[in-house]
Amino acid sequence: MSGSKFASFSLPALGLLGSLLLSCLNTSADLTLVDGDKVMQHVDKIVSNGPHPAGSDSQKQVAQYLAQQISSFGLEVQTHTFHPTTPQGRLEMNNVWTVIKGERESVIILASHYDSKFFENFPFVGANDSGSSSALLLELARVLVDNNPTRHSLWLVFFDGEESFQEWTRIDSLYGSREFVRMLKRSGELSKISALILLDMVGDKNLRLLRDLNSSPWLNEIIWNKAAQMGHSGIFLKRGNIAAEDDHLPFAEEGIPVIDIVNLNYEHWHRQEDTLDKLSARNLTAVGNVVLSSLAEISQYLER
């Protein structure tokens, strides 16, 4: 983030019982399927590549890891390569995503950026920014592949190039998300996108999340209420707001409902100390389960 900024089952085989099980899954108050230890293992793999700013060879290694993990879940990997002009010249960047098909063509996107910010004077691996959210998105893919609690299709998208190379501007930032929106416009698929849930810096030990004023109020309401129901009000705070400039903005500008779940008060933000030991498997589990448990209600809201 930059700133100025379930057990698998077959419904046909189970018949009515299967339908009832799916109904229970869709309306469950709390789903606790996210494994924070698995998330931490993914973060470890990501940061083992060292600093990985957009356009770097190490970033390509991270993209390969994401693709390998997605494939291991039995999902198809999709990529889009683009070459934006940056303060460091024209660079190659790659958005990576996968699709979990639902009953409907309409789509809920779950997203994270996966680049680390470029610094000349110290090595920055970005364990929290954005290793935590990228790793959590991989874990959500593992859980959701056989257990989509909505009728929507789910796209899990890893944006390249969120970070600015110099000072944050609307031109030097959000390269991947801006390109993804342009790609959807060219393909005529933008109208399929019903909502976007963005994760960014969601794993630190002192995690305190505030509602983002640049997010859709109804999405904030659903997720913060779900967190309270699940006993996580110590993470999803009831009071206070932020105004995040992040990868949700290009989608919001197109009228798409969005939410950014991000900790802008992370004490090691854009510092060399943003390393694996600053993260909490417990907090990553909590955030993942809140998002997972909110999907059914979000889908139902969109179908009204």
Give, rounded to a whole angstrom, the gap between the first and last alpha carbons of the chain. 33
Give pLDDT, residue 103. Answer: 96
Give the chain's mean pLDDT.
92
Q: Is the pLDDT of residue 18 over 90?
A: no
The Cβ-side half-sphere exposure at 130, using a 13 Å CA radius, reads: 32
Q: Is the pLDDT of residue 4 over 60?
A: no
Catalytic residue check, 167: no
Average the pLDDT over 30-52 and give the result: 96
> Contact, 125 vs 131, CB < 8 A?
yes
Give pLDDT, residue 1. Answer: 56
Average the pLDDT over 111-135 and give the result: 98
Give pLDDT, residue 31. Answer: 86
Q: Give residue-wise pLDDT tens across range 63-90.
A: 999 999 999 999 999 999 999 999 999 9
Least confident interval from 10-14, 57-61, 246-250: 10-14
Q: Is the pLDDT of residue 29 over 70?
A: no
Average the pLDDT over 295-304 and give the result: 97
Which of helix, strand or coil describes residue 108? Answer: strand
Per DSSP, 279 falls in state B
Under CATH, which number does the domain 32-302 receive? 3.40.630.10
β-bridge mates for residue 279, sequence order: 204
pLDDT tier at 10 (50, 70, 90 boundaries)? very low
Catalytic residue check, 163: no
Contacts of 57 (CB under 8 A, 6+ apart): none
Burial of 265 (0-12, 13-18, 19+ CB in 10 A): middle
Cα–Cα–Cα angle for 78, 214, 182, rounded to 5 degrees: 35
Per DSSP, 69 falls in state H
Candidates 129, 160, 172, 200; catalytic one: 200
> Contact, 245 vs 171, CB < 8 A?
no
Least confident interval from 7-11, 107-111, 280-284: 7-11
Give residue 49's identity as a one-letter amino acid code. Answer: N
Average the pLDDT over 94-111 and give the result: 98
Average the pLDDT over 165-191 and give the result: 98
Give pLDDT, residue 30. Answer: 78
Alpha carbons 51 and 111: distance in angstroms, whole number: 21
Q: Give residue-wise pLDDT tens across range 161-171.
A: 999 999 999 99
Candidates 162, 204, 245, 247; catalytic one: 162
Q: Is the pLDDT of residue 283 over 70?
A: yes
Alpha carbons 112 and 93: distance in angstroms, whole number: 15
270 vs 6 pLDDT, higher one? 270
Alpha carbons 77 and 126: distance in angstroms, whole number: 24
- C-alpha distances (whole Å) from 194 to each of 116, 136, 151, 287 are 28, 22, 12, 22
- Long-range pairs, 231-239, Cβ under 8 A, ≥24: 232/286, 232/290, 235/207, 235/208, 235/209, 235/283, 235/286, 235/287, 236/209, 236/290, 237/208, 237/209, 237/210
β-bridge mates for residue 155, sequence order: 99, 109
Contacts of 91 (CB under 8 A, 6+ apart): 54, 55, 83, 84, 161
Please tell me whether the peptide bond between 130 and the residue prior to it is cis, using omega within 30 degrees of 0: yes
Average the pLDDT over 119-145 and give the result: 98
Beta strands in 85-168 (DSSP E): 85-86, 89-90, 93-100, 107-113, 153-159
Alpha carbons 233 and 9: distance in angstroms, whole number: 33
Q: Give residue-wise pLDDT tens across range 225-277.
A: 999 999 999 999 999 999 999 999 999 999 999 999 999 999 999 999 999 99
Q: Is the pLDDT of residue 130 over 60?
A: yes
CA 297 to chain centre: 18
Which percentage of the chain shows pLDDT scores above 90?
90
Which percentage of the chain shows pLDDT scores above 70?
90
pLDDT tier at 36 (50, 70, 90 boundaries)? very high
pLDDT tier at 5 (50, 70, 90 boundaries)? low
pLDDT tier at 14 (50, 70, 90 boundaries)? very low
